[in-house]
Amino acid sequence: MNKFWNTRKFSLANAAGLCATLNEISQNDEVLVVQPSFLPILNSLLTFLELTESTPVRKIALLNDQLSDDLSLARGSVPQMDLVFLVDVRTSLQLPSELLDAAKKHNLSPLHIIYCRWKTSFPKHSMDSEQGQKDGYTLDITEPRFPNIIESQLSEISNEYFLYPLDLLPFPQIDDNVLLSHSLYNMEDVNMYYPELRPLQNATESILVDNMVNCLRGLIFETNSIITNVVSIGNLSKRCSHLLKKRIDEQQTDNDTFIKGTLYGERTNCGLEMDLIILERNIDPITPLLTQLTYAGLLDDLYEFNSGLKIKEKDTNFNYKEDTIWNDLKFLNFGSVGPQLNKLAKELQTQYDMRHKAESVHEIKEFVDSLGSLQQRQAFLKNHTTLSSDVLKVVETEEYGSFNKIIELELEIMMGNTLNKDIEDIILELQYEYEADKKKILRLICLLSLCKNSLREKDYEDLRTFIIDSWGIDKCFQLESLTELGFFTSKTGKSDLHTISTRPTRLQKEYRYISEWLNTVPIEEEHAAGKSTNEQEEFVEATFAYSGVVPLTTRLVQMLYDRSILFHNYSSQQPFILSREPRVSQTEDLIEQLYGDSHIIEESRWVPETITKKINASIKRNNRQSVDGSKGACHAAEDIALVVFLGGVTIGEIATLKHLQKKLSKKGINKRFIIIADGLTNGDRIMNSIS
Amino acid sequence: MKNPSFDWEKLKDVFYRNRAIGELKWPTQYEDFRCALSLTVIAIEIQDFIQIYNYFGQLLDKINLLKIHEDIIKFEFDKDEKLILVTKRSIKIVKSWSPLTIESVPLEDSILDTIWDYHDGIMLLNESRDIYKLSGNEWELLYKNKDMKYNLLTKNHWSCNGDIIILLDIDHVYQVSTLNGILLKLMADSSWHKVTISSKGFICLYNMKYNKLQVFKDPTRILMEHDLDSIPDNICWCGNDTIACSFEDEVKLYGPDGLYVTFWYPFNVTNLRSEIDGLKVITTEKIYFLSRVQPQTSNIFRIGSTEPGAMLLDSFELLEDHAPKAIEIMKNFALEKGVLDCITAAVDEFQPKFQKILLNAASFGKASLQYKSFDANIFVDACNTIKLLNCFRSFGIFLTAEEYKSMSLKGVIDRLLAYRKYYECIQICKLAGKQSLLGYVFTKWAKDKIKSSSDMDDNELLETIKSRLSVIRVMDTIKMVSISKVAYLEGRFQLSRDLALLEKNEESKIEQLFNLDDDSLALKESIKVQNPSLTVSLLVALSKKLTNSQLTKLLILDMINNPLYLYYMRRDKAYLYDFYRQTDQFVDLAHVLLQQGKEQQFLHNFLPQIKDLYSKVQNNEMVHDIVEQLQRQEKLWVYQESLGKRFGISFIDMTLDQTLSKLIETGQDKEVKEIVKKFKVNEKQLYHLKCRMLVETRKFDELLQFAHSKKSPIGYMPFYRYLKTRGHIKEAASYVGMISGLSYQERKKLYVECMSFRDAIQLAGKERDIAGLKEIYNAIPANEPEAKAFANETMSTI
């Protein structure tokens, strides 16, 4: 049982796997032809320089329409080159058509194809089968295997081909504790959670779940972990957790069972704990519709990160491992970024100024040695200063004056202050006066509908007519999709929807109740006061990521460990206030209120149930003592809690979960939230995918 | 306690010992019979049967030779202990006993000669003495004896092991490599009459004339030479380095320098078989195992030994009565070596009594070793091995540790399975803790069961297999699919399917179902797995096997709620279109059209069709709404066309807003009103549009008129803002006064913003706001002295 995850190892393992495969294919120079959607991921795994140094790859080409030209060019310059294709069909299932075209056109034979898959085989498990082969009792399966999905597609073309699996693990890109699996969008950039072709949703969801399960299984086996407590909220999440359990159990060897039995047996319980919390986007469709206010979130909203965490317009390196400034700033409220940058600049200046004070040769040497890192730091600082001033310009300038207006409006909607009439006027204003982006207006309309738990029939009609009148008839179908997904509904239409399919998880309550029960729009007097003093520590509530709103997901996760909010705002009948294990007991009522079905939340234990309470309590006491005693010591006993998001996570949610982690540890519950999501999302992405 | 060393014999510095391992009543009543020995069983030909016995003398199986219809020249066991029958034209390998399966490897028809002799994969022809090698299921010519280069008189005149063949010609000794068939003259001009080769390549030649033995590995260096007193019955290697000869009731082992030791037996010795670490001596009543005593064992049990092992054993024996002395002894020797010796010796013993004593001693010694300095796994492994070996012995398989190592657990199990000893196999698996092998045993059992019980019906068999399965409870290594295949070959289709469903490995389960042509079931099962890529690959495979309509039927029946295949085919719009049309999914069909329209950027043309599709759906509010919207759109198009005709401007692809704006721009008030009425345009919307349009086209007078014409439903703030954002500050100022609900400060700010200082000053003057006035004063640019003067004036009046 592994208690410490070094997530940085995962990217190294991925890169090493790729290099090994490339080296294995041939000794000749290679041209690596990469599927465009995989390129950003490849880039963030290793640089081109690293690739050429450790593998025979000399050139990289993209698997697109231009491939033919590139190929003839590359082949012309170096005749003895092998072509290696790198594809990822985990979500698309279908090979890129360009690959088949190129193979036919250039008559490539043999065809070397590296395909991505989630890491599934591990030394521990493969040993058994090797043993078996040695003993000769696997003789039966030497017969041709059932062709896998790539083989069955390749069999249509006559070329000889070799397939090499590339075992991947999700790896950190934004932060050590955030692992993205990049399975939210397929090759054609279709959102798998909200697919464009709505009738296919069932299929894309199952692919999404399958990928997430395989990804989680890979992580769990790679790190040799044992999940103890599982909570899933949402129907898809439940499916995911059941499937994960099934697949883990299938791979379980006697040895594993033995280890589990010993660690969590009847008499002994080591007290080790690892939680798995699975959430899906539908349990909180509201958060992504809000404007993000953290530094990284704003960048994502304005410029949009791609899967390699690069923004499209600027060539900025967001490598959190090297760029400590980015690492410090990314989850801060943009308001605090400026002062922070200022502080950093001053620090840098003083460090530079040290040279004047340097008198002895030794001191000068010290300074010169540190010069490299200082210069790098300076470069990063410069980068972020320009970037944030760009952001500031966008946010403040007249042309985009709508930014503040929209934030204001969001908060009003969330607080439930606005009447239907006002909102409509404001939306007209936004459309005509501010000429705000269509997506933003749609986002607001959806937000309104969600917060009001569907609109009045007349408003619904009016808004729809308005949208079609101003933007054209094709929006009619986007609205239809939004309605089906529950983003934009009318009171009558909603009940209608309900009878069609009861399956998807939907919010069923007006936001004012939610905000009241879960205190998602906390009123903080200290908020204003705190800002002037220490910026970083001051937010008592996680309201910094969105304008004064705590994301619902964050509150739901918090609820599993800490019931103080429910105690104050919902019902004083709570089974506990603080718990080290995530517990859902007595939340059924609340969940039923919110989603109309109390069964969408589910708790289970994946290790033998024992009389753990006593030990649990004693551990808790220890923890609390250590917190009281010394603040630093409490880090030692962190439990890992995997928070899985299906359908994407916003940067704001990541930031607030980090905040929650700090808050919980102050209360004596030491968790390390590792966020695993299939991709990043925000309002624009959702609106883009539903069109 | 009897010291086991009492019946040891010493040959030079090595002890040999003889241990009885099994009882066997040799069929002495028959005059003439042939037999063959293997490591674990004995085959005897009696009358018309070849019978197989284990070392307990239990009959395991038999073959009726009358059914073979050919004369058996010889029979022997191969390395895997498969019985091989040699006839004139072929060799027959007994692959399995029940049902009896015999695989024949015949000579090629072109060879007219017959088989003379066969041994260990090497066959010699009768006439030519050509040498053939068995490779796979074919004969491969190894050496062609041209011009009768050598001549072999009896079958004793040649021998082979895995690497070489020794041929004793009348005059010379030849060696043929089994690898490449190269003939080598080993010794010239020397004649011998019998040869045996040890597994390590030592060659022993015997000359009957001089009654002489010679042992060598390399003919230039003779290792040993012996003159024998009488003619031996049999010559055989004991282990791989000592030669043994049997004479009636004694066996002699020969060492260098003319040394030899003799073992006497109470019965006549009938047969010898050399094993890798000893010699099996078969007498008429009993079977003995003659082997070298391991140095560890001899160190311990030798009389007067002071080796660590012996000391440890002494110490352990003293422990009970003289504990202090026992401890004292412990200090005087290398304890770890003692422990290791005791463990090794224990493994080498056959008798549980000695095993126990030695292991106890080892365990006792081990406890006194320094913590962690000794790898306890050695001890545990030894215990396990001993347990297993004892268990094998109780089943009639006598193995030494070394033999077991070379054979592996799987080998033992295979041998037992060959004679349907399932129960014993399961015992062994459980003892060895090998769950994976248990699955193997089960698989084998189930296959045999299906093959042999032709009188049971499918359900009965399935139930039997299931009930056994529930007892075993390990599914991992059971190859249900291979059992299912057996059932299929037996013509039991239903059983085959049911068995395939029990398979744990999903991929092979689905493959088997697919191969059984049970497509629907395969599909259903694959959906249960929830692995989309597996399902899709199955579907792709099915799409190749089935016709399009069959596949569609399958999809409709089994996957109506799971559009995985459609997702896979998503780029093929025509397929989606067909599919949805066949399944009457009108809305989905419409969506496909919609996408197609978007891709071709020609949505307009698709809309009527989409509308038709939508209107086919009944009783759905939302769909109804969309149809209404589409109808409205059509109305708009019609109207736009009429407008186009009227004004000669194209209105195609314009939204309602754009149309309105265009009309406002061109000042067609009548049409504007008409549109508003016809399409029920929201008044506010109209105001915004008109306001914006008028500003954009700089029709300020009209704007003012419009503003005054009626109280604006959107207030006058938008008027102001439209003007201001487009830089018409002067015009904007005139609307500040009209905006209602503004505070003084706000209003003042607006005035200042649009540089209408005079108004601002007036306002401030009214409010008697000196500070405000000062502010305004400061905001006034230098080129407007008038305004400044007015500000001063106002200030002074206050």
pLDDT of res. A495: 57
Structural domains in chain A plus CATH codes: 1-121+143-169 (3.40.50.2060), 214-286+549-626+634-678 (3.40.50)
pLDDT of res. A610: 58
Cβ B622–A496 below 8 Å, yes or no? Answer: yes
Q: Which of A135, A190, A429 would best serve as a mutation to test chain B binding (most B beta carbons within 10 A)? A: A135
Is residue B767 very low, low, confident or very high in pLDDT (cuts 50, 70, 90)? Answer: confident
Q: Which of B435, B510, B571 sits opposite A146 (nearest CB)?
A: B510
Residue A345 predicted with pLDDT over 90: no
pLDDT of res. A634: 41
- Name the 3-class secondary structure at B73: strand
Is residue A314 very low, low, confident or very high in pLDDT (cuts 50, 70, 90)? Answer: low
Buried-exposed string A379-410: b where 16+ CB fall within 10 A, e elsewhere: ebbebbbebbeebeeebeeeebbbbebbbebb
Cβ A466–B603 below 8 Å, yes or no? Answer: no
- Name the 3-class secondary structure at B274: strand
Cβ A476–B629 below 8 Å, yes or no? Answer: yes
Q: Which residue has the tokens 């619904």?
A: A460
Q: Tell me what the mean pLDDT of segment A290-304 comes to.
A: 86
Residue B451 predicted with pLDDT over 60: yes
Is residue A212 very low, low, confident or very high in pLDDT (cuts 50, 70, 90)? Answer: very high
Cβ A483–B725 below 8 Å, yes or no? Answer: no
Q: Tell me what the mean pLDDT of segment B353-367 comes to.
A: 90
Cβ B530–A243 below 8 Å, yes or no? Answer: yes
Is residue A143 within 8 angstroms of chain B, CB to CB?
no
Percent of chain B with pLDDT over 90: 6
Q: Which of A469, A485, A499, A502 would best serve as a mutation to test chain B binding (most B beta carbons within 10 A)? A: A469
Cβ B563–A146 below 8 Å, yes or no? Answer: no
The reported pTM is 0.81
pLDDT (tens digit, 9 = 90+) per residue, B650-695? 887 788 888 888 888 887 878 888 888 888 887 888 888 888 888 8
Percent of chain A with pLDDT over 90: 6
Cβ A148–B655 below 8 Å, yes or no? Answer: no
Output the furthest CA–CA distance in chain A (Å, rounded): 82
Q: Tell me what the mean pLDDT of segment B572-600 comes to.
A: 85
Of B350, B363, B284, B276, the closest CA to residue B319 belongs to: B363
Q: Tell me what the mean pLDDT of segment B573-586 comes to.
A: 86
Residue B133 predicted with pLDDT over 70: yes
Separation CA B568–CA A188 (nearest Å): 12
pLDDT (tens digit, 9 = 90+) per residue, B184-213? 888 888 888 899 998 888 899 998 888 888
Size of the A and B interface in Cβ pairs below 8 Å: 172
H or E stretch at B183: strand B183-187
Q: Which of B622, B695, B724 would best serve as a mutation to test chain A binding (most A beta carbons within 10 A)? A: B622
Write the CA distances from A688 to A39, A194, A287, A685, integer angstroms.
Answer: 22, 10, 16, 5
pLDDT of res. A399: 53
pLDDT of res. B501: 85
Residue B386 predicted with pLDDT over 90: yes
Residue A69 predicted with pLDDT over 60: yes
Residue A613 predicted with pLDDT over 60: no
Is residue A577 within 8 angstroms of chain B, CB to CB?
no
Q: Tell me what the mean pLDDT of segment A295-318 comes to.
A: 77
pLDDT (tens digit, 9 = 90+) per residue, A4-51? 888 888 888 888 989 988 888 877 888 888 888 888 888 888 888 888
Residues of A within 8 A of B534 (CB-CB) are 149
Q: Tell me what the mean pLDDT of segment A271-278 comes to.
A: 86
Cβ A97–B626 below 8 Å, yes or no? Answer: no
Residue B476 predicted with pLDDT over 70: no
620-639 in B: which are within 8 Å (CB) of A? 620-622, 625-626, 629-630, 632-633
Q: Which of A197, A198, A251, A489 would best serve as a mutation to test chain B binding (most B beta carbons within 10 A)? A: A197
Least confident among A282-291, A569-578, A635-644:
A635-644
Is residue A504 within 8 angstroms of chain B, CB to CB?
no
pLDDT of res. A527: 45
Tell me B260's DSSP state: E
Q: Which residues contact B602 (CB under 8 A, 6 or more apart)?
A: none
CB-based contacts of A572-581 (< 8 A; 24+ apart in sequence) = A578/A620, A578/A667, A578/A668, A578/A669, A579/A669, A580/A273, A580/A616, A580/A619, A580/A620, A580/A623, A580/A639, A580/A669, A581/A228, A581/A229, A581/A273, A581/A275, A581/A616
Cβ A476–B630 below 8 Å, yes or no? Answer: yes
Is residue A584 very low, low, confident or very high in pLDDT (cuts 50, 70, 90)? Answer: confident
Residue A342 predicted with pLDDT over 90: no
Percent of chain A with pLDDT over 70: 84
Residue A165 predicted with pLDDT over 80: yes
Q: Are A116 and A17 in contact (CB under 8 A)?
A: no
pLDDT (tens digit, 9 = 90+) per residue, A667-683? 888 889 999 998 888 88
Q: Are B258 and B226 in contact (CB under 8 A)?
A: yes
pLDDT (tens digit, 9 = 90+) per residue, B27-77? 767 767 788 888 888 888 887 888 888 888 888 888 888 888 888 888 989
Q: Which two tokens stand for residue B461?
A: 């068999």
pLDDT of res. A644: 93
pLDDT of res. A1: 57
Within 10 A of B96 (CB to CB), how many other CB atoms are there? 18
pLDDT of res. A618: 46
Residue A424 predicted with pLDDT over 50: yes
Is residue A645 very low, low, confident or very high in pLDDT (cuts 50, 70, 90)? Answer: very high
Q: Are B167 and B182 in contact (CB under 8 A)?
A: no
Write the CA distances from A612 to A187, A276, A636, B182, integer angstroms.
Answer: 47, 18, 21, 75
Q: Tell me what the mean pLDDT of segment A591-610 comes to.
A: 82
Is residue A643 very low, low, confident or very high in pLDDT (cuts 50, 70, 90)? Answer: very high
CA trace torsion B650, B652, B654, B657 (10° rounding): 60
Amino acid at A225: S
Q: What is the pLDDT of chain A when averaged over all its residues?
A: 79
Is residue A682 within 8 angstroms of chain B, CB to CB?
no
pLDDT of res. A127: 41
The reply to whether omega before A582 is within 30° of 0 (cis) is no
Residues of A within 8 A of B622 (CB-CB) are 480, 483-484, 493, 496-497
The residue with greater pLDDT, B25 or A48, is: A48
CB-based contacts of A446-449 (< 8 A; 24+ apart in sequence) = A446/A285, A446/A289, A446/A482, A446/A487, A446/A488, A447/A286, A447/A289, A447/A290, A447/A410, A447/A413, A447/A414, A448/A413, A448/A423, A449/A487, A449/A488, A449/A489
Instruction: Please work out, in degrees rounded to the nearest 5, the angle formed at the alpha carbon of residue A48 by the alpha carbons of A47 and A54.
Output: 90
pLDDT (tens digit, 9 = 90+) per residue, B292-325? 898 889 988 888 888 888 888 888 888 888 888 8
Is residue A313 very low, low, confident or very high in pLDDT (cuts 50, 70, 90)? Answer: low
pLDDT of res. B286: 86
